[in-house]
């Protein structure tokens, strides 16, 4: 492995170390080479300079090295004319074929997103792109902020099973072989969160993957996605949960705006912090609002993506980028959501720029009512016995939410497609890499 670590700096002391990949090189003059290097820690491009008279071996090495080679460089202070003088260099590894220069695009972010969306097999390489790197830096900061906020509030982080024997949500589940029987990949940790309400105050949370066997390709759906799931104990009404997630999401957005200024500038977006309280509109009023726009939706029907997008436009014109839809009909929500009556539930969806990014509500904590809801939903009590029996031991009123991390990221950064919020997406057609 070629190296030049045995060559000591000729002039002033070395001041820094750069580990990354060669993007390009060019002759500055007959005795100098300029090397553009992608820094591995930031995905920014830095210019290095080597003088033939000062370091003839390094100069000779860089005349032959391939674009895309991994290098470890010690540098002097930055030159007044721009660039850092190389003190020593180690060639770590050279590619068989140099990567396309397209991975370093920094122009129109929509061009970058389109290239990223259509380059599934190159996505590990595309993390060298500063725009793509910025997306996932922000995603990591969202997770950091979420944990910090919830822990500061006293919530206990837990990890729940992803291989389960019952389906608590929709029928869009992945069925797998489990020794001599069958099991499912969990769509959510909902039942486990509720079971913890028999013991934990103020509540629990989990940040983990969820799985949904949805046989379609849309810009808003994935088969594997990550959620921030939260459950709070000793609540008294739906407002307690609305206030909880409202405070939470505003704190997360504020943290990103404050801590990721450089990344937001690279992507070219600004994070607007919504005013509190967030607008709250009932499902019934949503149906009326859409009817005023010529869209007739029978009461009890789910909102389709085009309905959500139109509603987002209506609310944006009124000054609301983020808002709640509350009190959905009973047929649209799971058995564990508390019902106000036979028609409506204490439930909500959180909408952000025309897309549902979270849902939740107050849960049913009364054993008899919960058992009745299970039966009316067509489920067998025996199948849900371990979950149901816990409600005999004095579980207080509780509620919570599930927040889709990729959906939040997509809407916050205006990525256009949820696959741009995942490094290796899983959907109806994609199982590799």
Taking a C-beta distance cutoff of 8 angstroms, is the pair 253, 211 a contact?
no
Q: Please tell me the distance from the alpha carbon of residue 25 to that of residue 46, in angstroms, as a whole number.
A: 12
CATH number for the domain running over 16-98: 2.40.50.140
The domain segmentation of the chain, as residue ranges, is 16-98, 124-421
Residue 18's contacts (CB-CB under 8 Å, 6 or more residues apart) are: 37, 39, 46, 48, 71, 72, 73, 75, 84
Q: Give the residue from 187, 192, 160, 190 showing the smallest Cα distance to 172.
A: 187
Q: Give the residue from 172, 171, 183, 175 showing the smallest Cα distance to 223.
A: 172
Q: Which helix (H) or strand (E) holds 267?
A: helix 261-267
pLDDT attached to residue 98 = 84
In this structure, what are the phi and psi dihedrals at residue 185, rounded to the nearest 5 degrees?
-85, 135
pLDDT attached to residue 10 = 41
Q: Which helix (H) or strand (E) holds 311?
A: helix 305-317
Mean pLDDT, 10 residues at a time, the chain of 433 residues: 40 75 88 91 89 92 91 84 86 89 71 80 88 95 98 98 88 93 96 97 98 90 97 98 98 98 94 96 97 95 96 96 98 95 95 98 98 94 95 97 98 95 93 90
> How much is the pTM?
0.92
Superfamily classification of domain 124-421: Bira Bifunctional Protein; Domain 2 (3.30.930.10)
Strand 163-164 versus strand 181-185 pairing type = antiparallel
């Amino acid at each position: 492995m070629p190296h030049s670590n045995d060559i000591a700096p000729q002039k002033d002391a070395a001041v820094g170390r750069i580990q990354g990949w060669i993007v390009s090189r060019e002759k500055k003059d007959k005795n100098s080479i300029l090397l553009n290097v992608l820094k591995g820690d930031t995905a920014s491009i830095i210019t290095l300079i080597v003088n033939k008279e000062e370091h003839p071996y390094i100069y000779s090495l860089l005349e032959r090295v391939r674009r895309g080679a991994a290098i470890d460089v010690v540098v002097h202070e930055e030159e007044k004319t721009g660039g850092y003088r190389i003190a020593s260099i180690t060639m770590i590894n050279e590619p068989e074929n140099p990567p396309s220069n397209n991975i370093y695009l920094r122009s129109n972010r929509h061009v970058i997103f389109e290239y990223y969306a259509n380059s599934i097999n190159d996505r590990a390489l595309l993390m060298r792109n500063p725009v793509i790197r910025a997306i996932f830096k922000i995603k990591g900061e969202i997770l950091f902020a979420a944990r910090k906020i919830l822990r500061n509030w006293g919530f206990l982080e837990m990890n729940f099973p992803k291989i389960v024997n019952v389906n608590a949500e929709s029928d869009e589940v992945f069925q797998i072989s489990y020794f001599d029987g069958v099991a499912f990949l969990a769509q959510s940790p909902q039942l486990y969160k509720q079971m913890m309400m028999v013991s934990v105050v103020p509540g629990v949370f989990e940040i983990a993957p969820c799985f949904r066997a949805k046989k379609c390709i849309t810009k808003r759906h994935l088969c594997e996605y990550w959620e921030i799931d939260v459950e709070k104990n000793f609540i008294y009404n739906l407002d307690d949960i609305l206030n909880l997630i409202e405070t939470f999401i505003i704190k997360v957005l504020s943290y990103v705006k404050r801590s990721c200024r450089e990344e937001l500038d690279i992507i070219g977006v600004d994070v607007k912090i919504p005013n509190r309280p967030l607008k709250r509109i009932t499902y019934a009023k949503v149906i009326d609002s859409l009817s005023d726009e010529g869209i007739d939706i029978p009461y009890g029907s789910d909102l389709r993506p085009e309905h959500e997008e139109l509603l987002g436009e209506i609310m944006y014109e009124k000054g609301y980028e983020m808002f709640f839809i509350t009190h959905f009909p009973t047929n649209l929500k799971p058995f564990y959501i508390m019902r106000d009556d036979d028609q409506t539930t204490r439930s909500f969806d959180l909408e952000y720029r025309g897309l549902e990014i979270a849902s939740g509500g107050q849960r049913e904590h009364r054993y008899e009512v919960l058992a009745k809801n299970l039966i009316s939903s067509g489920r067998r009590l025996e199948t849900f016995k371990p979950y149901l029996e816990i409600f005999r031991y004095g579980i207080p009123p509780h509620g919570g939410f599930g927040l889709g991390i990729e959906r939040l990221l997509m809407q916050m950064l205006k990525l256009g497609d949820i696959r741009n919020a995942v490094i290796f997406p899983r959907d109806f057609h994609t199982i590799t890499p």
